[in-house]
């Protein structure tokens, strides 16, 4: 039974998420569909990349992943079907794929779109479903699409580095208003190099140690730790860090306008 994850930014208030699943099941009636989320913020590429990357890596090889995020950011001429580390990923050619993988896909083809048909979400779903069906029936990825295309590249949002500091962007705020920063544990430890540190945000909020869990501090106290995805997380034990501290997630519009004060977290090393 083929396994497929579904990640979108379209919400669940109307028929569309159900209709997407119906289109997929038309081609593969035994398809096992796993909803990751339908609540990604529109046009927030770093957030989408974080969620997709850390969901995909937990599924077995051979899984299909349909990512319908920012699909009409530009008028699409084709969809991408990529094969990477044993996973098959379908998405729009909007640069998100390279942000998710943090590199170029090992294999990728363009699924050409019929220009005489309206390019709706369901139409794009149908194009992906057809390619998935062909792969399930023995075709190689090179046989289901065209290799003669240039994939759009967007670089993943990386922290800024200095000799004695590292500065990251808030890329995700979860349901409990815990704040996730795009500083990985590997990057943190490499820059730290055994030194003491101070995590600083909103000018006067400082954390000087890492915790293992929320219960390491008293109720209502702030803490920092590396979450299950390996990224720096700032939280309040039984509280809402984002709301209390006035922290906001990354916004590409504000980023381009250099308005990042409430979206950055800086670590100083001594």
- Find the radius of gyration of the CA atoms of the chain: 20
**What pLDDT shows up at residue 42?**
84
pLDDT at position 251: 61
Query: How confident is the model over 198-213, as a mean pLDDT?
Result: 91
In Å, how far from its chain's centre is CA 215? 28
Q: What is the pLDDT of residue 149?
A: 87
Instruction: Summarize pLDDT for 29-74 with one digit per residue, the tens.
Output: 999 999 999 999 888 999 999 999 999 999 999 999 999 999 988 8
Can you tell me the distance from the alpha carbon of 210 to that of 224, in angstroms, rounded to the nearest whole number?
5
Q: Which ranges in the chain are annotated with CATH 2.40.30.90? A: 160-269
The span from the CA of 195 to the CA of 189, in Å, is 9
CB-based contacts of 92, cutoff 8 Å, min separation 6: 68, 69, 70, 71, 72, 73, 76, 79, 80, 124
CA distances from 118 to 8, 75, 109, 113 (A): 20, 11, 22, 10
pLDDT per position as a tens digit, 217-261: 999 999 999 999 999 999 999 999 999 888 887 665 555 455 544
The model's confidence at residue 77, banded by pLDDT at 50, 70 and 90, is confident
In the chain, CATH 3.40.50.10790 sits at: 3-144
Which residue is associated with the tokens 């993943």? Answer: 156
Q: What is the pLDDT of residues 158-181, one digit of tens each?
A: 999 999 999 999 999 999 999 999
Instruction: Give me the CATH code for the 3-144 domain, please.
Output: 3.40.50.10790
Q: Which fold has domain 160-269?
A: Elongation Factor Tu (Ef-tu); domain 3 (2.40.30)
Rounded to two decimals, what is the model's pTM?
0.90
């Amino acid at each position: 039974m083929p396994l497929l994850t579904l990640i979108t930014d379209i919400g669940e208030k109307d028929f569309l998420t159900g209709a997407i699943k119906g289109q997929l099941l038309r081609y593969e009636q035994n398809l096992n569909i796993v909803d990751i989320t339908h609540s990604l913020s529109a046009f927030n590429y770093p957030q989408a990349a974080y969620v997709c990357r850390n969901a995909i890596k937990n599924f077995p090889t051979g899984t299909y992943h349909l990512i319908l995020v920012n699909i009409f950011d530009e008028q699409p001429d084709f969809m991408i079907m990529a094969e990477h580390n044993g996973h098959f990923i379908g998405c729009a050619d909007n640069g998100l794929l390279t942000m998710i993988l943090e590199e170029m896909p090992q294999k990728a083809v363009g699924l050409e779109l019929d220009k005489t048909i309206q390019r709706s979400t369901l139409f794009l779903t149908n194009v992906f479903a057809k390619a998935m069906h062909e792969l399930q029936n023995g075709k190689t990825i090179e046989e289901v699409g065209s290799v003669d295309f240039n994939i759009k590249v967007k670089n993943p949002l990386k922290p800024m580095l200095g000799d004695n500091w590292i500065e990251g962007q808030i890329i995700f705020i979860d349901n409990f208003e815990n704040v996730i920063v795009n500083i990985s544990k590997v990057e943190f430890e490499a820059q730290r190099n055994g030194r003491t540190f101070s995590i600083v945000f909103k000018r006067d909020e400082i954390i000087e140690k890492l915790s293992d869990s929320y219960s390491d501090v008293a109720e209502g106290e702030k803490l920092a730790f590396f979450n299950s995805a390996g990224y720096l997380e700032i939280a309040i034990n039984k509280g809402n860090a984002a709301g209390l501290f006035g922290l906001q997630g990354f916004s590409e519009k504000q980023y381009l306008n250099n308005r990042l004060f409430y979206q950055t977290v800086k670590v100083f090393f001594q």
